[in-house]
């Protein structure tokens, strides 16, 4: 290779290196991504933060000196684009967009005739590195919401944001509407819920439906034992550690054996008592119960009264298989 060819080869290699580095520098200056990437150079070349970021259907994180554009599309063919100018945030901030529906407390009252275009609200959120919400910004953000079937007559269209403190929707002035593309564009320095609303006259505020008041709870006093006797009054429901529930009737406790019967006392408090407390009340047995005293006489309870079972044949014929409960003569005397 002659001398001239060698010089040409070196010059060509130098231009090739400069070209490659130039491409790298272009990429560093105009990075494309969803987070504030840092691209470093070798040999002490330092680091470069891309000044502009874009994201599509993923959250976007921008730093204090970056600008960014986040675009989110939805299944109903609507789209939201959020443009964040450089200097809007003081530190790395992540932007995201979701769709939502209105709760009863957030729905404009029907008397205003307000109709929400597309039937959804757009939740545009921002959070800092700690995950705390960021609502206010140093510069205006530009937001474009593209909705299908935007009315051709835009005279009564408005963009509203929900004011949580005031509990009402407030009109965002200066919004523009493009019926051809369906794009609605506006600028704000804060984030919350946004909706495109058709309402006559586009009033400054839209009141929301007042939710039905929560009914005051009915406070049922807990029964207390009667001071004179130390016994609970008639109608008191008692339960101890075995979880059986009894009702006090005329100084007697009667076991409630079915859920159907328990439902008839809906709303009545059940008082938890110690087992010793229940022993103060002789047991009142339900109709159909067979009881036997210490004198070995057997009775069946009918209409709250004891009826003697006089013969073994009667016992076998009518009560075969039913248990017989042994009780004291004092209990027998209660019926």
Contact 276/256 with Cβ under 8 angstroms? no
CA distance 36 to 74: 25
**Overall CATH class of domain 50-207:** mainly beta
Q: Which long-range contacts (CB under 8 A, 24 or more apart) does 247-253 make?
A: 248/281, 249/284, 250/284, 251/281, 251/282, 252/281, 252/282, 252/283, 252/284, 252/334, 253/278, 253/281, 253/282, 253/283, 253/284
Contact 271/237 with Cβ under 8 angstroms? yes
**Residues whose CB is less than 8 angstroms from the CB of residue 320 and which lie 6 or more positions away in sequence, other chains included:** none
Which pLDDT score, from 0 to 100, does residue 141 have? Answer: 96
Give the start-to-end residue ranges of the domains of the chain: 50-207, 231-282, 285-335
Neighbours of 226 (CB within 10 A): 10
DSSP conformational letter for 268 = -
Taking only the tens of pLDDT, the chain with its 335 residues reads 554 544 445 545 454 444 444 444 433 333 344 444 433 344 444 557 788 999 999 999 999 999 999 999 999 999 999 999 999 999 999 999 999 877 655 666 544 567 888 888 899 999 999 889 998 999 999 999 999 888 888 888 999 998 888 888 899 999 999 999 999 999 999 999 999 998 888 999 888 766 556 667 777 788 888 888 888 999 999 998 888 899 998 888 888 888 888 889 988 899 999 988 888 888 888 888 899 989 999 999 888 789 999 999 998 889 888 889 888 888 888 78
Which pLDDT score, from 0 to 100, does residue 87 have? Answer: 93
What are the beta bridge partners of residue 291?
Answer: 299, 325
CA distance 150 to 12: 58
Q: Which candidate, 159, 125, 166, places its Cα nearest to that of 144? A: 159
Which pLDDT score, from 0 to 100, does residue 109 have? Answer: 58
Which pLDDT score, from 0 to 100, does residue 89 have? Answer: 94
Which pLDDT score, from 0 to 100, does residue 40 have? Answer: 37
């Amino acid at each position: 290779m002659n001398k001239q060819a060698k010089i040409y080869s070196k010059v060509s290699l130098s231009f090739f290196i400069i070209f490659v580095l130039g491409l790298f520098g272009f990429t560093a200056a105009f990075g494309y991504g969803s987070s504030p990437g840092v691209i470093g150079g070798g040999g002490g070349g330092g680091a470069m933060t891309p000044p502009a970021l874009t994201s599509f259907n993923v959250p976007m994180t921008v730093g204090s000196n970056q600008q960014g554009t986040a675009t989110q599309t939805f299944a109903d063919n609507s789209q939201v684009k959020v443009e964040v100018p450089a200097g809007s945030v003081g530190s790395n901030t992540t932007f995201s967009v979701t769709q939502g529906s209105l709760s009863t407390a957030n729905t404009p009252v029907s008397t205003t005739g307000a109709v929400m275009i597309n039937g959804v609200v757009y939740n545009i959120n921002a959070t800092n590195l700690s995950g705390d919400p960021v609502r206010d910004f140093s510069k205006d953000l530009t937001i474009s919401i593209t909705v299908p079937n935007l009315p051709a007559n835009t005279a009564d269209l408005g963009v509203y944001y929900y004011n949580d403190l005031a509990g009402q929707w407030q009109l965002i002035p200066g919004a523009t509407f493009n019926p051809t593309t369906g794009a609605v564009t506006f600028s704000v320095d804060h984030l919350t819920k946004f909706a495109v609303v058709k309402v006559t006259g586009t009033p400054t505020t839209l009141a929301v439906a007042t939710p039905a008041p929560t009914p005051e709870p009915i406070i049922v006093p807990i029964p207390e034992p009667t001071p004179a006797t130390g016994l609970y009054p008639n109608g008191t429901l008692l339960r101890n550690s075995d979880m059986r529930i009894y009702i006090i009737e005329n100084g007697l406790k009667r076991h409630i054996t079915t859920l159907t019967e328990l439902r008839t006392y809906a709303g009545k408090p059940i008082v938890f008592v110690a087992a010793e407390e229940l022993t103060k009340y002789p047991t009142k047995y339900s109709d159909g119960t067979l009881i036997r005293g210490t004198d070995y006489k057997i009775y069946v309870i009918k209409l709250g009264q004891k009826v003697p079972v006089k013969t073994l044949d009667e016992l076998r014929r009518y009560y075969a298989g039913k248990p017989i409960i042994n009780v004291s003569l004092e209990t027998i005397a209660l019926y």
